[in-house]
Structure formats: C-alpha cells, structure tokens
Amino acid sequence: MGSPENDAATSGTIDSTDTIDSTGTIDSTGTIDGGDGEEQPPAYGYLDIDPETARRASRIYWDDAAADYQAEHGAFLGDSDFCWSPEGLRESELRLLGDVAGRTVLEVGCGGAQCARWLRRQGARVVGFDLSGGQLAQARAYAARTGIEVALVQADAVALPFADESVDVACSAFGAVPFVADSGAVMREVARVLRPGGRWVFSTTHPFVWCLPDDPDENGLRVFHSYFDRRAYTEHDEQGQAIYTETHRTIGDRVREIVAAGLILHDIIEPEWPAGQERTWGQWGPVRGGYVPSTSIFVTSRPPAR
C-alpha cells in the first residue's frame, strides 16, 4: 500500500526507455539532466540505495504522510480491523495467522495499528511497531477513540528491539517490507524473535507490478520497466535528499530471503481482484486487478523445536 505514483502526471512519466517527459532524462545513476546541460538533483528515479538512506527517506515520507494516509484510507481499513491489502482481504475471512487468542503477536510496520487492535479484540497480546512517529501518533489517536490499547514501539524492522524467541506470531500488512533496502534483514530479524513453530505472514506489493506503471486502469497494463531491476524507486527533494523510496524483490528473491532466514515457506497468495470491490487505491483497482495480481501474501513459519 505504497503511495506516490511512479507514473504520476504531476511528476512526469517514466516510459519504457526510462525517460522522464517534461523533466529530462534519468541516467544510470538516477541523475536528471534537465535538458539545459546542467545536472539537477533527481526528482525521481531508480537507484541503488543503502539501508540508512532508505530508513531516513521512509521516516521523512511516513511522518509527513501519516495524517493524509489515515484520512484517505482509514475508513476502508476500519478502526480496528485486519485488512491485508487494497483488495480488501480481511484476516477475519482468511485466518492466515491461526487462533491468536492468548498469543503474543508482533505487527511489523503497524501504521495506525488497525490490525493490532483487531488482534487485541481476538484476545492476543499485541505489540505494534513502526519506524514513523507520525504513524504512531495516529495509532495513539485511534486508541483514544476506540478505547482499544495496544503496546506501540518506534523501531526499524531491520533491527528489532525484541528478545530472541519472544513472539508467537508476527504479521505485516504492507508494513516495512516494501520500503527497506534489505528485506532479507527483516526476514532474519523476524525469524530471530519468533518462537520455534511461530508464524510470520506478510503482505507486500506483488513483484510483477514493478514492471507496470502505477495506474489501476488500462494504462497500467503495459510493461514499462524491467522486472529484474532491483534498484529502488526513489523520490528526491530539491537538495537531492531521498524523501520516498520503494524497493523491489523478484518472487525468487523473496523465496531465497525467507529460506535463508531459516523459515519455512508455506504459501504465496496472489489474490484475484474480488467481484464487487470497486474502490481503487493507487495502482490497485478492478480494471488492472482483473488481469494481474498487485498483492502477494507470504505465509511462513519458523521450524518447530526438535
């Protein structure tokens, strides 16, 4: 459930040759040549990005966007409901986490902590964490409104401030994984804090849509970018500082990261667009969603103790 549109008319359009109309061209380092021969800080492009830059960009973006994100999507997510994706898939129907009553559950990249509050209502002991203080402030406001309190922690998913084997279940609905430079580190950290036999289920952008323009309609149904390009999509301010980043792994990369963390991969769910769901969310919508999946949900677990 990332947000800015990498094909947005307001910021130029990256076409299949990686040119940016009306702005200039991106070279292999993502630097824009504005056409007058002068190098300018890039507005957006595909870059190799280091973990610290990704972390800083995500904090800047999500702190700034938190209130608008909740205003735009909060009603759809529900104050205390567990929505896996813009298709509207709910944990109350999918039950990917199993029975959580009495379990210690960690929500990774919890945002407004809607999922965490739903888990609390199911009887789980829940900790939600997020990198963004802005998102956590939204979560606290929801807690005050709903009267459902969960523990909230500010943390980075690549360095969890939790003890080894302290959690029964971990979950994430588009939290952290699509934004970090090293999603393998997230897999390793979650595997570390999970108890043997514990589940880790996360939804993220489907790798295939990396190739497609960020558009829910017909225009989104053309391959314009290489599936194999692992550089991060980044946006920059006038000083050239990254202020938004989204990262990519192929399906094979995701499987390798999960397996390398010592986890068992049980399923990769590629939801079809549900009949009757008309709401669009960024590049998610019924038109493109009728042809290709935009979400993937990875169902994994830590092997049980011998």
Ligand X SMILES: C[S@@+](CC[C@H](N)C(=O)[O-])C[C@H]1O[C@@H](n2cnc3c(N)ncnc32)[C@H](O)[C@@H]1O
Shortest distance (Å) from residue 32 CB to ligand X: 25
Please report, in angstroms and rounded to a whole number, the separation of the first and last CA atoms in the chain.
38
Please report whether residue 152 would count as binding ligand X according to CB under 6 A: no
In the bound state with ligand X, the residue whose beta carbon lies nearer, of 112 and 220, is 112
Query: Of residues 45, 111, 220, 282, which one binds ligand X by CB under 6 A?
Result: 111
In the bound state with ligand X, the residue whose beta carbon lies nearer, of 282 and 289, is 282
Please report whether residue 295 would count as binding ligand X according to CB under 6 A: no
Q: Taking each helix axis from N to C terminus, what angle separates 251-260 and 183-193, rounded to the nearest 10 degrees? A: 30
Query: Of residues 6, 13, 80, 132, which one binds ligand X by CB under 6 A?
Result: 132
CA–CA distance, 255 with 265 (Å, rounded to integer): 7
Please report whether residue 128 would count as binding ligand X according to CB under 6 A: no
Residue whose C-alpha is closest to residue 1's, from 89, 123, 80: 89
Residue type for 245, please? T
Contact call for residues 69 and 142 (beta carbons, < 8 A)? no
Site string for ligand X, 237-276 (x = CB under 6 A): ----------------------------------------
Please report whether residue 131 would count as binding ligand X according to CB under 6 A: yes
Please report whether residue 62 would count as binding ligand X according to CB under 6 A: yes
CA–CA distance, 252 with 202 (Å, rounded to integer): 16
Q: At 139, give phi and psi (nearest 5°).
A: -60, -40
Shortest distance (Å) from residue 176 CB to ligand X: 4
Please report whether residue 174 would count as binding ligand X according to CB under 6 A: yes
Shortest distance (Å) from residue 132 CB to ligand X: 3
In the bound state with ligand X, the residue whose beta carbon lies nearer, of 87 and 156, is 156
CA angle 297, 171, 108 (to 5 degrees): 115
Three-class secondary structure of residue 184 per DSSP: helix
In the bound state with ligand X, the residue whose beta carbon lies nearer, of 26 and 115, is 115
The two beta strands, 194-205 and 167-173, are: parallel
Q: Torsion-angle region of residue 74: left (phi > 0), alpha (psi -120 to 50) or beta?
A: alpha
- Judged by CB under 6 A, the number of residues near ligand X is 21
Residues of this chain that bind ligand X (CB under 6 A): 1, 55, 58, 62, 77, 109-112, 130-132, 135, 156-157, 173-176, 179-180
